[in-house]
Amino acid sequence: MAVKPRYLLAIVLVFLLVAATACSSGNGNNGGNNGAKPDNGASGNASEGNAAGDGGNAPEAAIEPLGKYDPPIEVSTVRIINDTYKFAEGDTIDNNVWYKAYEDELGIKIKNDWVVSGDGVGGPGEQKMNVSIASGDLPDIIPVNANQLQQLIEADLIMDMTDVFEKYATPLTKEIMNADGGYAMKSATSGGKLMALPNTGSSMDGAAMIWLRSDWLKKLNLPEPVTMDDVYRIIDAFTNEDPDGNNKKDTVGIALNKDIMGGYAGLDGFFNAFHSYPGIWIKDASGKLINGSIQPETRAALAKLAEMYKNGQIDKEFGVKDAGKAGESQGAGKNGFSFGQMWNPLWPLVSSKDNDKNAEWQSYPLVSVDDQPARPQVSLAVGGYYAVNKDAKHPEAAVKLMNMFIEKSYGEMADPNKYGNANGLEVFKYAVEIAAPATKNLDAHKAVTEAIKSGDASKLNPEQQLYYDKISSWLKKEDGSNERWAYDRVFGEAGSFVVIDKYVSDNLLMNNEFYGAPTPTMVSKGSSLKKMELEVFTKIIMGSSPIDAFDKFVQDWNSVGGEAITKEVNEWYQEQQ
């Protein structure tokens, strides 16, 4: 007797439930379907369409890469920022010098559909972008990472930009976008079509180098590193010969982070000295691509590392320390040697200078185990991609925005005082689309050192001027702030760009030849392979596995999926030729 109402209500509830799910999945359908616009977006588009309706066609007749829309058009985008974005009073990410310039000079009114702070890998920005993609909430200009770009291409949601770019990009834009030998542009290309504009950067800036305490070198009467034996000798002395002079054996020979590779306290430089290139794809003698991690040179480097670990020359507890934690020992004056990148003085090396004003760091090019020069490995440096919504009314606006950024930053009419760095604010970050010439920092180094020699700073652009001011005030001892010291160590006469300059002029950079989207097996097995690699390398270095474990690793790597990946990578490589 009691059964009836209970069941009735249950049935009602089930209906409610079904209704709720159906309702929400209906929305999903709406949003997810190709091109079908959700309600919110539609209203935004309508006004846009109206605005563009009358005048939009006029400028299309004459192609002006920096021409102005009259009447102005509205272009929507989204912004992923981080906590280093600082604004002058009254400015915001929705209203700033760049956005004003877009409107005044190009007739493009930018509308930020959303802004999110947090641009790390897997961070809020990436997640917000993913949910936006999934719910069909796409703006006209879509800033994405490589994976998301691939998804948008597969789902056919974005526009082929080949012709538009060809027609609208200024010569300077084309030059800068291709300055890295075309790797960046190729990485934004699918099936011969350009699907997005890359935010180009500089791969050479990521090349590894040696950093060491030159005051310790002098104190212990050691030679500068020219051969790998010098390096071993230095590391040994920095471990055992009491470089900090406190009569205690408390120094760490070589700082190392738990990821083994990376920008500070990684071992990229060490492996490269052995002509081993873990983690990247290189061309072998037959012209095929092979993975650097599984080559015999890597085995040799690991064997040496295991020996050094056993001799106490590597931080015993490196296995648990990330780069920040690994940096503590140098900050405390307990470490004087590491492999790193050109920016290390700015972080973290400056802290050892802060704590001991006699500390002095010097960078050196990688040295080699044999008579062949060491070649630092570098990978594609693309900060992201700017894709254009298939439904965008004005795809060329995306190219124009890029033209304007490049023109105002690096072109003849450049006004970096206003658009680059103004009053200590990094104004260039406000721009919707940015890109940098591959040699921007190297050029800055050359210009700054030239200006310091000649005393004539008039030819410097504001960014270079900034470096110049810091370095010259350091050299003249006007200002003892160690930040200035750090800039001198990077851009100055003996700075790290001397090393990079040498790499570039001797043509030593070893490019990662694979720059496509992850292949199917990479997607399915990549994380397992990466884990295996890190685990085996760590254990070999720490001596908990013998070096022979490397041979088994190579076998396992191939059987778990590495072989399939190699095949896919080579197929991809064929297509690129």
Partner 1 sequence: MHLMVIPGLILVLIYHYGPMAGITIAFQKFIPAKGFFDSKWIGLENFRYVMSLPDTWQILWNTVYIAVMKIVAGLIVPITVSLLINEMGKALIKRSVQTLIYLPHFLSWVILGGILIDLLSPSQGIVNQFLGYLGIEPIYFLGLDNWFPYTLVISDVWKEFGFSTIVYLAALTSINPTFYEAAIVDGASRWKQTLYITLPGMMPIIILLTTLSLGNVLNAGFDQVFNLYSPQVYKSGDIIDTFVYRIGLVDAQYGVATAVGLFKSVVSFFMITVSYYLAYRLANYRIF
Partner 2 sequence: MQYMTPGRRLFVIVNYTLLILLSLLCLLPLIHVLALSFSSSAAATAGYVKFWPVEFTTNSYQFVLKKPEFLASVWVSVQRVVLGTLVNMVLTVLLAYPLSKEVKAFRMRTFYVWIFFLTILFSGGLIPWYMVIKETGLLNSIWALIIPGAVPVFNVILLLNFFRGLPKELEEASFIDGAGHWTTMWRIFVPLSLPALATITLFAMVGHWNSWFDGLILMNSPDNYPLQSYLQTVVIRRDLSLVSQSSLADLANVSDRTSKAAQIFMGALPILLVYPFLQRFFMKGIVLGSVKE
Q: Is the peptide bond before 71 cis (omega within 30 degrees of 0)?
A: yes
SS3 sequence of 422-487: ECCEEHHHHCCCCCCCCCHHHHHHHHHHHHHHHCCCCCCCHHHHHHHHHHHHHHCCCCCCHHHHHH
Candidate ranges 42-50, 67-75, 116-124, 148-156; the one touching partner 2 (CB under 8 A)? 116-124
What's the rounded Cα separation, in Å, for the pair 300 and 184?
A: 33
- Token pair for 106: 């190009």
Q: Is 250 in the site for partner 2 (CB under 8 A)?
A: no
Q: Which is closer to partner 2, CB of 225 or CB of 333?
A: 333
For partner 1, the binding residues in 15-74 under the rule CB under 8 A are: 16-17, 20-21, 23-25, 28-29, 31-34
What is the contact mask toward partner 1 in residues 145 to 184, using x (rule: CB under 8 A)?
A: --xx--xx-xx-x---------------------------
Which of 109, 526, 558, 564 is the binder for partner 1 (CB under 8 A)?
A: 526
Closest CA to 185 of 205, 209, 169: 169
Cβ atoms within 10 Å, residue 264: 22
Measured in residues, the chain has a length of 577
Strands (E), 469-558: 510-511
x-marked contacts with partner 1 along 90-129 as a string, rule CB under 8 A: -------------------------------xx---x---
Which range binds partner 1 by CB under 8 A, 78-86, 502-510, 524-532, 563-571? Answer: 524-532
Q: Does 115 bind partner 2 (CB under 8 A)?
A: yes
Question: Taking the mean position of all CA atoms in its chain, how far away is CA 212?
Answer: 25
Segment 226 to 265, residues that bind partner 1, using CB under 8 A: 258, 260
Residue 303: name the closest of 545, 60, 103, 52 by CA. Answer: 545
Exactly one of 59, 65, 136, 201 binds partner 1 (CB under 8 A); which one?
A: 136
Is 351 near partner 2 (CB under 8 A)? yes
Two tokens at 331?
A: 């900050």
Residues 389, 468: Cα–Cα separation, whole Å: 42
Q: Could you identify the residue written with the tokens 């007739």? A: 107
User: Cα dist. 551→295, 369, 532, 554 in Å?
Assistant: 10, 22, 13, 5
What is the number of H-type helices and E-type strands within the chain?
A: 24, 17
Interface of this chain with partner 2, residues 411 to 440, rule: CB under 8 A: 426, 428-429, 434, 436, 440
Tokens of 264: 């500070």
- Does residue number 323 form part of the binding site for partner 2 (CB under 8 A)? yes
Q: Name the strand (E) or helix (H) holding 534.
A: helix 520-542
Binding string, residues 285-324; x marks residues near partner 1 by CB under 8 A:
-------------------------------xx-xxx--x
Kindly state the smallest distance separating residue 297's Cβ from partner 1, in Å.
21
| Least distance CB 441 / partner 2 (angstroms) | 6
Q: Least distance (Å) from partner 1 to the CB of residue 324? A: 8
At 131, list the tokens.
């949910």
Task: Kindly write out the interface string for residues 3-42 of this chain, putting x where it contacts partner 2 by CB under 8 A and - elsewhere.
Answer: --xx--xx--x----------x--xx--x--------x--
Nearer to partner 1, 169 or 540 (CB): 540
Site for partner 1 in 547-566 (CB under 8 A): 560
Total of residues contacting partner 1 (CB under 8 A) = 56
CA–CA–CA angle 412, 415, 419 (5° rounding): 135
Alpha-carbon distance of 237 to 245, in angstroms, equals 12
By beta-carbon proximity to partner 1, the closer residue of 126 and 488 is: 126
Q: What are the residues binding partner 1 (CB under 8 A)? A: 16-17, 20-21, 23-25, 28-29, 31-34, 121-122, 126, 130-131, 133-134, 136, 147-148, 151-152, 154-155, 157, 258, 260, 316-317, 319-321, 324-325, 518, 522-528, 530-532, 534-535, 537-539, 542, 544, 560
